[in-house]
Chain A
Amino acid sequence: MPPPPPLPMLPLLLLLCPRLARADPLACEYREHRAALASPAADPAVISPQDPTLLIGSSLVATCTVSPDFPLKAEDLYWTLNGRRLPAASYAALGPSTLSVALARLNGSRQQSGDNLVCHSRDGGILAGSCLYVGLPPEKPVNITCWSKNMKDLTCKWAPGTEGETFLHTNYTLKYKLRWYGRDNTCQEYHTAGPYSCRIPKDLALFTPYEIWVEASNRLGVAVSDVVMLDILNVVTTDPPSDVHVSRVGDLEDQLSVRWSSPPALKDFLFQAKYQIQYRVEDSSEWKVVDDVGNQTSCRLAGLRPGTVYFVQVRCNPFGIYGSKKAGIWSDWSNPTAASTPRSERGAGGCDPKGGEQNTTLRRELKQFFGWVKKHAYGCSNLGIKLYDQWRVWLQKSHKTRNQVLPGDKL
């Protein structure tokens, strides 16, 4: 691919020529060409119905009538639907130059732009086409959930009422109004948090509840969701805590200390943050949650396994905004931070084979070794005893300094 040319001049040129930025769609023709459009040539054939909208499961009989200017007869024609030829058994000649096709129990449209039903002449040429829109009318959108990030905006998401309405292009409009105030407002910024979402970016009112609903409409009908009532203060969420550090507690083998900072965005508002910690062992997918952290910004995890790598995450809930007794919405978890507990002194790196206990230690070491090899050795051909010795040396060296956080460890 040729590298894109340097384009710093583009914004400058766009500034200098603002008129070109707003071309009128009706003005794409040059004046001298307008006359040519006045009398278009006749189409070779006409299909009926043209661009119909149908319910899933319905049947359709379509006819293709060749224009008298063209020397084609009904037996010279055939039909395709989305590029696949329809069986001749479903055809019927309704006149010398009219061929019909019967379609039964239609499935939902293959693409939202409509199924392509095409009438062809014997040599494959296209004479005419009709777009079939097959789907279901929308049902009430459901599961409307909203959240406000730092009380600066309100984002809502919902789910379509039925899968059938996805065969057709269904338009969703999120509307809202303040309770006790008459005016309906329409949300403008869609798809901010997935395909069925919308964001209200500003002018949010506090202390008065909002009424929010979603209208869905497509070619087959309209549906309106139930109204959801909420107070912005009850759906506030914030950023995850920053600067999460996990460190050993001296030489204690079964403890780690976690420290973090409260998210900066809400420091201007009166609220108590609540925190939650979750942690797991490196090679497990089971998270343990510590719930009673309260509003401190540090916590000590105890009862851990010695010599094990743990991943830790923290999240925040802006509890009690402006004195309300309700919880807000939990933030996302912070990026995982890793740390390891000190190795237990017994059997630390011991070379004496002592049965089961030693085997587990050795297995764990080998597992870590192969992981390390994959990262550093670029292929199995370099595998060998020399590499293993190199790794043992590296392990010894890093073990001495291995009492701090390993930042950048991602799950």
Chain B
Amino acid sequence: MLNVTGDLPGDSWGIFTFLCAALCNLPALPALNCSEELGAGQSIQQTYDLTRYLEHQLRTLAGTYLNYLGPPFNEPDFNPPRLARAERVPSATVDLDLWRGLTDNARLAANYRAYSRLLCYLRVLDGQVGTAELRHRLAHFCASLQGLVLSIGGVMSSLGYPLPAGPAGPPAGPPGAPPAPNDFLKKMDDFWLLKELQTWLWRSAKDFNRLKKKVPPAVVTLRLEARGF
């Protein structure tokens, strides 16, 4: 379970033994739990399941929402230009080699940041949308998406990674320009938001699949070494 590398002076050995005993007798310490590796693996599986569930939910939500926007937005081959303003929505598209080479921390952080922002934008949508049915569906989806963000946060914590800084708190700057200068551009923004959500959910399933295979018990022990024990 615990690997010791290098030489430890005598007095440190005593301290080390004491700490070892303390660790094994205090399962309440969340970050240093002996069954840590099981927790992370389970969390990753749950997060993966959640992305698949959200993907399914999104299909219904997007269908309803695009019908509300009206043609051509709900046409299957609709492919509008991605104007510069649409880059506010984080893109899931990434170079394959870059994606393969991501560290676990970077992979999880990218997911965490993306969904935090997507959730934020979806909540703004919720406040503006017309029909009661849509508002109901959006609220339900936002709740599930928030669960995903928290789930990813949980995986990161259990693996010892710091959470990325969240979206800025109460607005520091001036209220600024409205999100979209006209209603049509707003419809385009909404379209791209849903599109990116979809792409992210596809990508996340692959991200978490990859993580599932990569989280052995060794990950935890390596960390404890890094902490100087």
Contact = CB atoms under 8 A, between A and B. Distances in A.
A129 B187 contact: yes
Of the candidates B85, B176, B183, the one having the most CB atoms from chain A within 10 angstroms of its own CB is B183
A131 B73 CA distance: 12
A169 interface: yes
B101 interface: no
Contact of B187 (A1, A6, A29, A113): A113
A23 B68 contact: no
Q: Is the interface of B mostly helix, strand, loop or mixed?
A: helix
Nearest to B124: A25
Given A5-B50, A130-B184, A195-B132, A113 B172 contact: no
Given A5-B53, A112-B131, A27 B150 contact: no
Size category of the B interface is 35 or more
A239 interface: no
B69 interface: yes
Contacts of A411: none
A62 to B, nearest CB: 12
Nearest to B125: A25
B46 interface: yes
A116 B72 contact: yes
A309 to B, nearest CB: 40
Given A28-B117, A28-B121, A83-B75, A40 B149 contact: no
Contacts of B187: 113, 116, 129, 131
A118 interface: yes
Interface stretch (B5-13, B91-99, B162-170, B217-225): B162-170
B228 interface: no
Contacts, number: 141
B184 A131 contact: yes
A113 B147 contact: no
Interface residues of A, number: 55
Interface in A38-97: 40-41, 43-44, 47, 50-51, 80, 82-84
A23 B84 contact: no
A114 interface: yes
B150 A25 contact: no
B182 A116 contact: no
B83 A113 contact: no
Given A30-B168, A113-B130, A131-B183, A23 B120 contact: yes
A28 B124 contact: yes
Of the candidates A14, A23, A126, the one having the most CB atoms from chain B within 10 angstroms of its own CB is A23
A115 B184 CA distance: 10
Contacts of A82: 70-72
Given A30-B168, A82-B71, A116-B73, A7 B146 contact: no
Interface of A: 1-2, 4-7, 9-10, 13-14, 17, 20-21, 23-31, 33-34, 36-37, 40-41, 43-44, 47, 50-51, 80, 82-84, 110-116, 118, 125-126, 128-131, 169, 190-191, 195
